[in-house]
Amino acid sequence: MNVREKYLKNTKRIVVKVGSSTLITEDGSLDLYRIEEIVRQICYLQNQGKSVVLVTSGAIGVGFLKLGLKTKPKDICEKQAAAAIGQGILLNTYEKIFSEHNKIVAQILLTKNDLDIVDNYTNAQNTFTALLKRGVIPIVNENDAVAVEEIKFGDNDTLSALIAKTIHADLLILLSDIDGLYSSDPQSDKDAKLINCVPEITKDIEECSKGSHSNIGTGGMYTKIKAAKIAVSSGISMIIANGSQDGVIEDIVSNKEVGTFFEAKK
Ligand code: GLU
């Protein structure tokens, strides 16, 4: 039995986070092939009796394209406007594809306040529980339209780790445009090696996460390590893997050694 198998053999609740860089093509449009592939795999997990929550970025990216802008706006209210436009398009796209697989989805938009305040946290937890009990797939994003700096997560990596904690998930999967965590930045160092397994998040591991970034997404490897710390300390294993790879989620749950695996603390 490999390390992953030991941790993943009884996985029942999974949070899958997909970043903008996986969902949006180079010309800025929604990558429908990729979305269909991710939806198909989530349905596969659900058909195996697992509960899945999808955390998806992409609202701002889709929104600014719809407005005909060439680059992501810098101004916070412009970003919020773009998110308000894009979120509807994003959810509509997911809803159509999931319903082709006879699945029901629900939209949940959260801010940091919603998980910081005890009553709100409990309400959100109850909503997730009620949805998952009915086999509905919650689709979550940050509520960008109302989130100002103090109540912003700022990146869906952190949000997805907190959701995994809220719903007592066993596994958090972060899908990005990179194969996993490398020993150094693979864009500038040809000797960079993909790290297969992280038993503990040491200073060295944190060092490896510096300097990697994406053009479209918000978080880089740094926010993913931050998410890993939240997840593993809550007893949830985490994997960073390349969302552009067909069948990647199925590979993960069948213990194939894809991406970087972070062992949950007991
Ligand atoms: N909530 C933002 C969006 O949907 C993205 C946040 C992130 O990239 O993590 O566009």
Q: Let me know: does 63 contact 91? Beta carbons within 8 Å.
A: no
pLDDT at residue 218, as a whole number: 52
Of the residues 57, 79, 112, 174, which should be mutated to test ligand 1's pocket, given the most ligand atoms within 8 Å of the CB? 57
Q: What percentage of the chain reaches a pLDDT higher than 90?
A: 70
pLDDT at residue 149, as a whole number: 75
DSSP, collapsed to helix, strand or coil, labels residue 175 as: strand
Which ligand 1 atom sits closest to the C-alpha of 157? 9
Protein residue closest via CA to atom 5 of ligand 1: 57
Q: Let me know: does 201 contact 229? Beta carbons within 8 Å.
A: yes
Distance 217 CA to ligand 1 centre (A): 7
Ligand 1 first shell, C-beta below 6 A: 19-20, 57-61, 83, 141-142, 144, 155-156, 217-219
Q: Let me know: does 105 contact 94? Beta carbons within 8 Å.
A: yes
**Averaged pLDDT for residues 129-136:** 97
pLDDT at residue 215, as a whole number: 43
Distance 266 CA to ligand 1 centre (A): 31
**Averaged pLDDT for residues 226-253:** 97
- Residue 217 and residue 158: Cα distance in Å, rounded? 13
pLDDT tens, residue by residue, 12-46:
999 999 999 899 988 778 999 999 999 999 999 99
pLDDT tens, residue by residue, 57-77:
999 999 988 888 878 888 888
Q: What percentage of the chain reaches a pLDDT higher than 70?
A: 97
pLDDT tens, residue by residue, 189-225:
889 899 999 999 999 998 887 755 544 455 588 899 9
pLDDT at residue 214, as a whole number: 47
DSSP, collapsed to helix, strand or coil, labels residue 198 as: strand
Question: Is residue 126 very low, low, confident or very high in pLDDT (cuts 50, 70, 90)?
Answer: very high
Q: Which amino acid is at 212?
A: S
- Residue 43 and residue 64: Cα distance in Å, rounded? 29
Of the residues 56, 60, 67, which should be mutated to test ligand 1's pocket, given the most ligand atoms within 8 Å of the CB? 60
Question: Is residue 147 very low, low, confident or very high in pLDDT (cuts 50, 70, 90)?
Answer: confident
